[in-house]
Structure 1
Amino acid sequence: MQANGDVPHGFYRTILDHLRDVVFQTDAEGRWEFLNPAWTDITGFEVAPTLGRSFLDFIHPDDRDCLLAEFQSLAGGEKAVCHYETRYLTSEGGHRWMALHARRIAGNHGEMAGVLGTLTDITARKELEATLNREKERAQTTLRSIGDGVIVTEANGRIQLLNPQAERLLGWSAGAARGRLLAEVFRVTDEAGQPVLTEPSECPSDRVTGQGSGVNAWLDRAEGEQMAVEWSAAPVAALGEEEPGCVVVFRNVTAQRTLQQQLAYQATHDVLTGLLNRAALQEAIAHEAARAERNGHSFSLILLDLDRFKMANDKYGHNAGDRVLEAMAERIPRQMREADWFGRWGGEEFLCLLPGAGSEQAVRIAERLRTDIMDHPVPLEENAIPVTASFGVATFPEDAQSTEDLIRIADTRLYEAKRAGRNRVEAGW
């Protein structure tokens, strides 16, 4: 229930505008709803005329069927995330290879509302992978200019080459790293904190496919700090050698991962208070209803609305209203149990989800909240703003068998409390 930091909205806009990766969102039909400027930088297509068109219009014809199948897997719920490498068309008639990382956006009832994700231009990496198997001398030139870090090892797992970007990312010089085992220099853990390189002398690739990769990985740099990275690996043999060495390609994705976390947070949290928003609360209620029905338990909802909120705004100013909402976000959770859920339902309404609570316990909690709100006016500069709230309580399954009816009953009882004089708890007794 901790609020987000006071970071201006323009800060995130600035990050989006300057990222090298494309950040996108589509609707449930796959039509672009948002693209950052990197889309134009990479493909040459302007953002404005692209919005509203299907993402398939910009996929290489040979790749469309496969990518459509991935999209349908997200839409059907078989996958929650998608990682795929494919070719996107450019305005000049060519194409660029992109690494697609996409996440399904769930609607209020579990259906897919759209897709949120990023596109990373991996054209240079794709070209490099082919080049390394053909021409080592030509690859050296590419390695010096590529934006990704590249490590090449010999068959015994000892490092043969670092490109300049790998030196910068790892914090190792090529001379100091040469001859060391890959695991000594490329110290990477997965999202569970487990080392990726379990066999120091082996290439971190699958024995069947010959490929290896990691999306949610962390690199321990020589200086001690950690960096979020994405990496891929494949065996590569020099001419005249039977045993293959390994090429590892990796890149710093710290800014991208931070932004993805911020976007995911903002999708489920209220901007002003930092509390869970309506969509997140609806999902929590649906999960609790399924659990309660499966285990034969009850749970309750408390819907509360601040009384005469508009009058406080009119008397003390709009900032006063925001301060009151923030004060409620700070105060109310202190009176609730550890297992309870609390969030902003909308406007000046808040909702409490009480797992395992029957109607009598829910009413006691609501009365405690009502008294606490009434007894603690909200300080604002030299003023103290008096606040009261009205409460509607509904319990599953005694009041309703569905979440929609339970929310409707709580809402009805809330406004019965309003009509009865406000600053009351109404539970239908």
Structure 2
Amino acid sequence: MSRTQRPHNPFWQAAKVALAYCVTAFLWIAFSDDLLGRWLGVSGEVTRYQTIKGWGFVLVSGLVLYVVVLRYLRLSAGYAEEIAAQRVEIQALSQFRANIIDNASIWLNVLDPQANILVWNKAAEQITGYSRDEVRGNARIWDWLYPDPQYRGFVRRKATELLEQGASLSDFHTRITARDGTEKVIAWEAQRLYGSEGELVGAIALGQDITERLAMEQALVENERYLTTLLGNLPGMAYRCLHDQHWTMKFVSAGCEPLTGYPPQALLDNAVVSYASLIHPEDMPRVAREAYEAETELRPFALEYRLRRRDGREIWVWEQGRVLEEESGLVEGFIMEITERKLLEQELAQLAIRDPLTGLFNRRELERRLCEELERSRRYGHALSLLMIDVDHFKAINDALGHERGDEVLCALSRQLQRSVRPMDYVARYGGEELLIVLPELSAEQARGLAERIRSETEAAYPGSHPAGGPLTLSIGVAAYPAHGASVAGLLRAADQAMYSAKRAGRNCVRLAPEASAAG
């Protein structure tokens, strides 16, 4: 160990104390024993023994003293080291506390019992724009932050109640004016501060700037109000559901009840009824298949299907939806009623294929269906027959009784023909007073028998309908596949020729197309 360190060594210090004690005691015993022996006249031998015994005691007591002093010095050194370490820790803790207070992300200030500001951290400076040097001990800060006297008085009363009555503040909001003139909303948490002996030393207040948060909350409320208004006025139902077998609804808009007849709560989590159970059973397989394909391919889908309302009414709906990629298993979309549109479409479709006067198929639709039936007859070897019907002397009816009466005759005859045939047969207005019936799976002879029955029923049903006083009569031509034609044009031509053959034969009769007309 170096010389500069030796004085601080407890072993060396204890040794010095013990050595000083021993030297002093040795000299004292030697001197005092010699003086006492001379004074009392004691022999030198006795004196020497007395001196040696004293020196022995000194050596033992010196050793004991060394041990005691060494222990004391070592304990003192330990205490000194602990005190030094505690002093360092206290300094570090004080610095840490100062840093925490000063660098805290929230506004922190401490008030004395007279409501003067003692502590004002950096967050307070950043929020208000006022430095701690301007604020500490300056009562004008209240005027700066709360320029409105009435509002300032309200805030000061709250601070006074805190200091005098101990009324702690929690989530207490104030609106301050910063140095730059901007207004900010601060949420406060405050309570009293007490000293080590329980005396009141002031209050501590923590403030958080919630201006942006409140603005965002207000914007969110406005957005929710806007969306609620928008969804409530949409002509349909917005929804979010699980893509399961029940289409379990997790959200439905207010349009649910006008659409389905059920309030939204009835459909949420299938509380009363599942949405899937409202879909028409005939449409459900197609709807489920198309929705599943869309989910698998992660693409939007659009569907049209029938829905059964709570009151039992059946309506058509249009649905557009998409699978939420970010939330697996969820689908969101919009459903609206399109019943009127579907009815209009159906009406337009009927107008495209129906004769507007009689309601029978028109010529274009008749030829399309005849083409399909002819193809089936070729494929499966089934019979197929046609009846070409012409109203005898129809021009005379129009001329004598008027076109309106002629139209009534055509409509009545059309209804009679529809009653006379099977559901699988087609009746069409081919042109003017000519009507045509397609008879799938009916042979020429069977068709001829049906034609004869129709002719006789018509004659009996309309006695005196002719201007000359006679009954309404028909001339009917019969043609069959493949005997009289192998194509649509060939069959129509053969039936038309047979019908004119009936007219040449004196009308009010049935004629079968000859085999020779089958070419074509």
TM-score by length of 2: 0.48
Do the aligned partners of 1:214 and 1:230 also contact (CA within 8 Å) in 2? Answer: yes
Q: In terms of Rg, which structure is larger?
A: 2
Instruction: Report the counterpart of residue 471 of structure 2 in structure 1.
Output: 386
Q: Does 1:194 align with 2:279?
A: no
Contact 1:190 1:196 (8 Å CA) reproduced = no
CA contact (8 A) 1:234 1:246 kept: yes
What is aligned with 1:73?
none
- Alpha-carbon distance between aligned partners in 1 of 2:287 and 2:483, rounded to the nearest angstrom: 55
Equivalent of residue 457 in structure 2, options 367, 372, 376: 372
Compute the displacement of 1:217 (Å): 1.6
Alignment of 1:41-190 (within 5 A): 139-140=227-228, 142-153=230-241, 159-174=249-264, 177-178=267-268, 180=270, 184-185=274-275, 187-189=277-279
Q: CA deviation at 1:212?
A: 5.8
Does the 8 Å CA contact 1:191/1:216 hold for their aligned counterparts? no
Amino acid at match of 1:148: G
Task: Give the aligned CA root-mean-square deviation in angstroms.
Answer: 3.6
Return closer, same or farther for 1:187/1:339 CA change in 2, 3 Å cut-off: closer
Q: Please tell me the residue identity of whatever aligns with 1:264.
A: A
How far, CA to CA, are the matches of 1:164 and 1:341 in structure 2?
47
SS in 2 for 1:398: coil
Q: 1:138 to 1:235 in 2, by over 3 A?
A: farther
Counterpart of 1:253, as a letter, is: I
Task: Indicate the SS of the match to 1:164.
Answer: coil
Alignment of 1:220-259 (within 5 A): 220-236=308-324, 245-259=330-344
1: CA distance, partners of 2:396 / 2:287: 63
Task: Output one character per residue of 1:73-92: Cα deviation in whole Å (capped at 9) or x when no partner.
Answer: xxxxxxxxxxxxxxxxxxxx
Report which stretch shifted further, 208-217 or 385-394.
208-217
- Structure-2 separation of matches of 1:242 and 1:272: 57
Where structure 1 has 5 or more consecutive residues not aligned to the other structure, the ranges are 1-134
Residue 320 of structure 2 aligns to a residue in which SS?
strand
Match of 2:368? 283
* Contact 1:153 1:160 survives alignment (8 Å): yes
Higher helix fraction (1 or 2) = 2
Question: Secondary structure of 2:398's partner?
Answer: helix
Specify whether residues 179 and 412 from structure 1 end up closer, same or farther in structure 2 by C-alpha distance, changes over 3 A only.
closer
Aligned-residue offset at 1:368: 2.1
Code of the residue aligned with 2:315 in structure 1: it is M
Tell me which of 209, 218, 238 is aligned to 2:306. Answer: 218
CA distance in 1, matches of 2:224, 2:437: 63
Once the two structures are TM-superposed, the CA of residue 245 in structure 1 deviates from its matched residue by 4.2
Distance 1:176 1:339 in 2: 44
Gaps of 5+ in 2: 1-222, 515-520
AA paired with 1:344?
R
Which residue of the partner structure matches residue 395 of structure 2? 310
The offset of 1:355, in angstroms, is 2.2
Whether contact under 8 Å (1:312, 1:385) holds in the other structure is: no
Residue identity opposite 1:420 in structure 2 = A
| Pair 286,205 (structure 1): closer, same or farther in 2 beyond 3 Å | closer
Q: Structure 1 residue 399: deviation in Å?
A: 1.8
> Which amino acid counterpart does residue 163 of structure 1 have in structure 2?
S
Amino acid aligned to 1:271:
P
The answer to whether the 8 Å contact 2:294/2:301 transfers is no
For the structure 1 residues 191 and 412, does the alpha-carbon distance in structure 2 shift closer, same or farther, using more than 3 Å as the test? farther
How far 1:177 moved relative to its partner? Answer: 5.0
Which of 338, 345, 348 is equivalent to 1:263?
A: 348
Alignment of 1:344-359 (within 5 A): 344-359=429-444
**Contact 2:390–2:499 (CA under 8 A) maintained in structure 1:** yes
- CA offset at residue 415 of structure 1? 1.8
What does residue 332 of structure 1 align with? 417
Determine if contact 1:186/1:219 at 8 Å carries over to the other structure.
no
Q: Which residue of 1 aligns with 2:427?
A: 342
CA contact (8 A) 2:259 2:337 kept: yes
**Deviation of residue 271 (structure 1)?**
1.9
Question: TM-score, normalization: structure 1?
Answer: 0.57
Q: Does 1:422 align with 2:507?
A: yes
Q: CA deviation at 1:297?
A: 3.4
1:27-80 CA distance string (max 9 Å, x none): xxxxxxxxxxxxxxxxxxxxxxxxxxxxxxxxxxxxxxxxxxxxxxxxxxxxxx
CA distance in 1 between partners of 2:406 and 2:491 (Å): 29
CA displacement, residues 182-222 of structure 1 (integer Å, 9 cap, x when unaligned): 96256442572437898xxxx97843233464523223334
Say if 2:419 is the partner of 1:363.
no
> Percent of counterpart pairs with the same letter?
30
Alignment CA distance shift 1:402-1:242 (3 Å): closer
Q: 1:160 to 1:207 in 2, by over 3 A?
A: closer
| 8 Å Cα contact 2:366/2:428 also seen in 1 | yes
Aligned twin of 2:56? none
Q: Does 1:273 align with 2:363?
A: no
Summarize the Cα distance change of 1:235–1:361 in structure 2 as closer, same or farther, 3 Å threshold. Answer: closer
**Pair 152,296 (structure 1): closer, same or farther in 2 beyond 3 Å:** closer
**CA–CA distance in 2 between the matches of 1:232 and 1:310?**
55
Cα offset, 1:294, TM superposition: 2.1
The 3-state SS of whatever aligns with 1:184 is coil
Q: Which amino acid is the alignment partner of residue 293 of structure 1? A: R
Equivalences, count:
287
Amino acid at match of 2:421: M
Q: Amino acid of the residue matched to residue 297 of structure 1?
A: H
**1:236/1:313 Cα in 2 relative to 1: closer, same or farther (>3 Å)?**
same
The amino acid across from 2:259 in the alignment is L
Alpha-carbon distance in 1 for matches of 2:286, 2:369: 35
Contact 1:155 1:243 in 2 (8 A): no
How far is 1:418 from its partner?
Answer: 1.8
